[in-house]
Amino acid sequence: MGIFGANVHDSQALIPLVKGIPPIRSLRGPRRRRPGKLHADKGYDYRHLRQWLAQRGIQHRIARKGVETSQRLGRHRWTIERTMAWLAGCRRLHRRYERKAEHFLAFTSLACTLICYRRLAK
**Confidence band of 74 (pLDDT split at 50, 70, 90):** low
- Give residue 42's domain range: 1-72
pLDDT tens figures, 56-66: 888 988 878 77
Q: Is residue 85 part of a domain?
A: no
Number of domains composing the chain: 1
Confidence at residue 52, expressed as pLDDT on a 0 to 100 scale: 92
In this structure, is residue 78 part of a structural domain? Answer: no
105, part of any domain: no
pLDDT in tens, 26-51: 777 777 777 788 888 788 888 999 99
Please tell me which residue, 23 or 114, carries the higher pLDDT value: 114
Would you say residue 82 lies in a domain? no
26 in a structural domain: yes
Give the HSE-up count for residue 56: Cα atoms under 13 Å, Cβ half-sphere. Answer: 17
What is the value of pTM for the model shown? Answer: 0.65
The dihedrals phi and psi of 32, each to the nearest 5 degrees, come to: -80, 130
